[in-house]
Amino acid sequence: MNKITIVEKPDWVSWNDIHDVLVAAHADNKLKGIVMQHQCLSGEEIKQELGSAGVMIIALDGQKVVGVAAIEEKIGKQWYLKGRYGYLCFAGVLPDYRGKGIYTSLIKKREQKAKELNYNLLAFDTHKDNLIVQEIAQKNGYRLVRYFRAQTGDHFNVAMVKWLNGQDAFNKKVKQAYCLSKLLTIIQFKRNGKERTRLTTLVCQGINRWLKVK
Ligand SMILES: CC(C)(COP(=O)(O)OP(=O)(O)OC[C@H]1O[C@@H](n2cnc3c(N)ncnc32)[C@H](O)[C@@H]1OP(=O)(O)O)[C@@H](O)C(=O)NCCC(=O)NCCS
């Protein structure tokens, strides 16, 4: 293995190369039933999703792409994300290259780029059972802020954020808001993501709206 370099995607790396790394990186997740929407996109769809404001960071072993991680520009409406923020997505490292600090280097490079782009906050969603990523993110200063049903409606996700402007991410509100969103989601939905009853949904949505966490 050569020295791994972490760079912004050069033109000679194709979006299909990036797609291939994501498919290989997520293969073991898929076997465990941890299926995320983004891992299914084609190279062209990844490019479209990132748009002109998005940034793709890659890890290279010589000319081989061995890891990827992106930032997409989004506008937030949650209590913890108001306005423009960096949404972290399309992250994965090839199985043979794991445990060598490649993802940690990708995280650092991505944060450096986010600061250059003047994002105050970075956020991402992941499957509630993708515990390795949640652990790595916590080690790198990210906090759990929300527990919610995925758009596909068949599983639950968590949202994690990191404030880059020094805001105290360890304050009580973050923990309380996360626990409350988890409690309301568990009350509202069964394990298979189906609503329990219309009444519980209406009550939970009402509380969410009142708390302005939704
Ligand atoms: C999550 C993933 C990106 C980690 O990549 P990686 O390059 O192996 O991560 P690193 O080497 O930087 O490891 C960072 C830390 O996590 C630990 N770690 C990594 N994989 C681990 C595992 N499977 N089990 C336990 N700890 C693990 C490392 O030991 C390291 O700990 P340290 O900081 O105390 O040394 C990789 O496993 C992957 O591609 N997973 C599938 C795709 C995925 O889930 N993407 C995220 C979508 S949100």
Confidence of residue 92 (pLDDT cuts 50, 70, 90): very high
Q: Which atom of ligand 1 is nearest to the CA of 22?
A: 42
Could you tell me the residue ranges of all domains in the chain? 4-211
Angle between helices 43-50 and 15-31 (to 10 degrees): 100
Residue of the nearest CA to atom 10 in ligand 1? 101
Say which residues have a Cβ less than 8 Å from residue 196's Cβ, sequence separation at least 6.
187, 188, 189, 190
At 174-211, the pLDDT tens digits run 778 888 888 889 888 888 888 888 888 888 888 877 77
CB 84 within 8 A of CB 75: yes
Residue of the nearest CA to atom 25 in ligand 1? 132
Q: How far apart are CA 184 and CA 206, in angstroms?
A: 11
Domain 4-211: what homologous superfamily?
Answer: Gcn5-related N-acetyltransferase (GNAT) (3.40.630.30)
At 118-153, the pLDDT tens digits run 999 999 999 999 999 999 999 999 999 999 999 888
